[in-house]
Amino acid sequence: MHRFDSISVAPPDAILGLTEAFKADERETKMNLSVGVYQDASGTTPVLRCVKEAEKRLLDTESTKGYLSIDGLPDYREAARRLIFSDQIAAERVAAVQTPGGTGALRVAAEFLATQCGPLRIFLPTPTWANHNAIMAAAGLPVETYSYLASDKKTLDFDALIEDLKTKPKAGDAVLLHACCHNPTGVDPTPEQWEQIASVVSEKKLIPLLDFAYQGFGEGLDEDAIGVRTILRQMDEAIVCSSFSKNFGLYSERVGTACLVSGSAETTKAALSQLKRVVRANYSNPPRHGGAIVATVLADEGLTQMWHEELAEMRTRIASLRKQFVDGMAATGVDQDFSFLLDQKGMFSFSGLSPMQVDQLRSEHGVYLVGSGRINVAGMNESKMEWLCNAVAAVLR
Ligand code: PMP
């Protein structure tokens, strides 16, 4: 008997496992609406033109592969800070750490909370991105939940959300809020609702942890920051975890930022030193390439303009796919009305399909959705829209 022989097989990741199954599916017409990556009209996840151009420049100018500092590239951190907060928060109140993706940012933030702000619990919305649970638990934070989606699975249950935030957490607990483009539902609070959420979080003295993985995929870079900026108008302290995976298409380069905002420059310095301690013990320092790309683009007016255009192209294409799907479903003559998808933001929506219908879509039509019925709208395709709508209609009948 070896020491490792008793190890059991972990369950496969529900979403990434589906992509494996999709790749192995030999049907000619198939569609992967499960994993959260943007695809263009040809079905590929493109490298943005601004990224290609920045990479060309980096190839010529990069002079070292030496380690970055623990908190990453200064120009990158400054650019990320400006995108998130604009000039609302003085730079010396923000401790920004470059991390391996938004996931890395969340893990660093969670460990910071567990070690520096404990004992505390973290409250997650129901539903939420499945990895939130795993990340928080891995960092040793007890996980609790608050209400989010209404039972119609289409809208926000705002009263229940407010009631839960008022009654469930205690002062000092943390609350995770999706800053925009809620994953998996696409249902976001309105600006007025953000004001009310911010008052409760502030009055209850909760620590807001804002997950900002989709800036620019909802309505625009500044428009999508309204949640973060509203919270920080009502209170001095928050942690924001952002990602360039989606809005720069830098998924595999692993580029994100954990930003801690405190009430003073002095506190921010102390917090930064603790964030760096967490990083040092986890992965020592971040990878250079993705951060260097973002810093190169955002330091150049022309490349920044190109990025804005490419981001707008992705955003408007997703909105147009939503519309085409809603119209396409209406044209099939099914009873269900899908127009609620038009109000939802970002890549994802809950389709309202049952686990059985999701299974049937996969086995009979080669359309891959996660079991909850979440659809990645950005995985749809203009040229196959009619086919998709007919497949969905077939399982609804
Ligand atoms: N938060 C949410 C809500 C997400 O959907 C994702 C990506 N699926 C992340 C964080 C992490 O993003 P990254 O790929 O940058 O680690």
Q: Tens digits of per-residue pLDDT, 347-379?
A: 999 998 999 999 999 999 999 999 889 999 999
Whole-number pLDDT of residue 15: 80
Task: Return d(Cα 183, Cα 194) in angstroms, integer.
Answer: 17
What six digits make up the tokens of 100?
Answer: 């391996």
Whether pTM > 0.80 for this model: the answer is yes
CATH number for the domain whose boundaries are 11-46+309-396: 3.90.1150.10
- What are the C-alpha distances in Å from 333 to residues 330, 394, 397? 6, 11, 10
* Local structure of 154: helix, strand or coil: coil
Domain 67-299 has CATH 3.40.50.460: no
Active site residue 246: yes
What six digits make up the tokens of 324?
Answer: 């085409």
Query: Which residues is 374 bridged to in the sheet?
Result: 350
What six digits make up the tokens of 304?
Answer: 């920044």
Could you state, in order of their start, the residue ranges of all structural domains in the chain? Answer: 11-46+309-396, 67-299
Active site residue 211: yes
Best mutation site among 103, 178, 240 for ligand 1 pocket (most ligand atoms within 8 Å of CB)? 103
Q: Across all residues in the chain, what is the average pLDDT?
A: 96
pLDDT band for position 13 (cuts 50, 70, 90): confident
Whether 14 shows a pLDDT value over 80: the answer reads no
CA of 232 to the centre of ligand 1 (A): 22
Q: Which of 363, 318, 353, 325 is nearest to 22 (CA)?
A: 363
pLDDT band for position 32 (cuts 50, 70, 90): very high
Active site residue 194: no
**Averaged over 282-304, what is the pLDDT?**
98
ipTM: 0.99
**Averaged over 207-236, what is the pLDDT?**
98
Q: Which atom of ligand 1 lies at the shortest distance from residue 104's CA?
A: 16
Strands 367-368 and 174-178: unpaired
